[in-house]
């Protein structure tokens, strides 16, 4: 398996293609473009000329780092690519803060994927001293 992790090459078309390959509904192209542009960084897992996985990190580059849209196409799963993308995202987030200062990286796990993230060092919330993550949807 020859996979390289590359930063900043993700395009809206590739994002859309990865979502489609993962069976996810299509998103508005203009919004996908804004999402990529507004991300702190994106990482793509590349095999030859083909992108087989991605992750993006959003936030303020100082105190807030949020992992979003971790995707690996089905044929390439269970080979460690998703883990590499998360580990690399955390490593690169660390570069935003001064040496010796901790970086806090957060994410929302898909239902049932909590164990995957726990093995990568994430704490499931709520936990001692930390409340649950919360969301609201407005129409």
Ligand X SMILES: CC(C)(COP(=O)(O)OP(=O)(O)OC[C@H]1O[C@@H](n2cnc3c(N)ncnc32)[C@H](O)[C@@H]1OP(=O)(O)O)[C@@H](O)C(=O)NCCC(=O)NCCS
- Looking at the DSSP bridge assignments, the partners of residue 105 are 65
CB of 100 to ligand X, least distance (A): 29
Nearer to ligand X, 16 or 97 (CB): 16
Q: Does 80 bind ligand X (CB under 6 A)?
A: yes
Neighbouring residues of 8: CB distance < 8 A, sequence distance ≥ 6: 41, 42
Q: Which of residues 95-124 bind ligand X (CB under 6 A)?
A: 109-110, 113, 115-116, 119
Out of 10, 35, 43, 72, point to the residue binding ligand X (CB under 6 A).
72
Q: How far is the CB of 114 from ligand X (least distance, A)?
A: 9
Give the H or E element holding residue 37: helix 29-38
Residue located via tokens 């570069």? 95
Strand extents, DSSP E, 1-139: 4-7, 41-47, 50-59, 65-72, 105-107
Q: Which stretch binds ligand X (CB under 6 A): 3-11, 26-34, 64-72, 128-136?
A: 64-72
Concatenating the DSSP letter of every residue in 81-113 gives: HHHHHHHHHHHHHHTTS-TT----EEE-PPTT-
- Nearest approach in angstroms of CB 29 to ligand X is 20
Query: Which residues in this chain contact ligand X in the complex, by CB under 6 A?
Result: 22, 70-72, 77-83, 109-110, 113, 115-116, 119
């Amino acid at each position: 398996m020859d996979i390289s992790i590359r930063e900043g090459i993700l395009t809206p078309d590739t994002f859309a293609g990865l979502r489609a390959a993962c069976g996810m509904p299509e998103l508005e192209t203009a919004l996908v473009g804004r999402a990529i542009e507004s991300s702190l960084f994106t990482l793509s897992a590349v095999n030859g000329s083909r992108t087989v996985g991605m992750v993006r990190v959003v936030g303020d580059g100082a105190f807030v780092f949020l992992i979003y849209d971790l995707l690996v196409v089905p044929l390439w799963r269970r080979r460690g690519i998703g883990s590499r993308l998360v580990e690399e995202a955390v490593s690169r987030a660390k570069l935003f803060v001064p040496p010796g200062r901790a970086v806090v990286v957060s994410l929302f796990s898909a239902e049932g994927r909590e164990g995957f993230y726990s093995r990568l060092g994430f704490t499931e919330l709520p936990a001692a001293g930390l409340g649950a993550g919360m969301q609201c949807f407005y129409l």
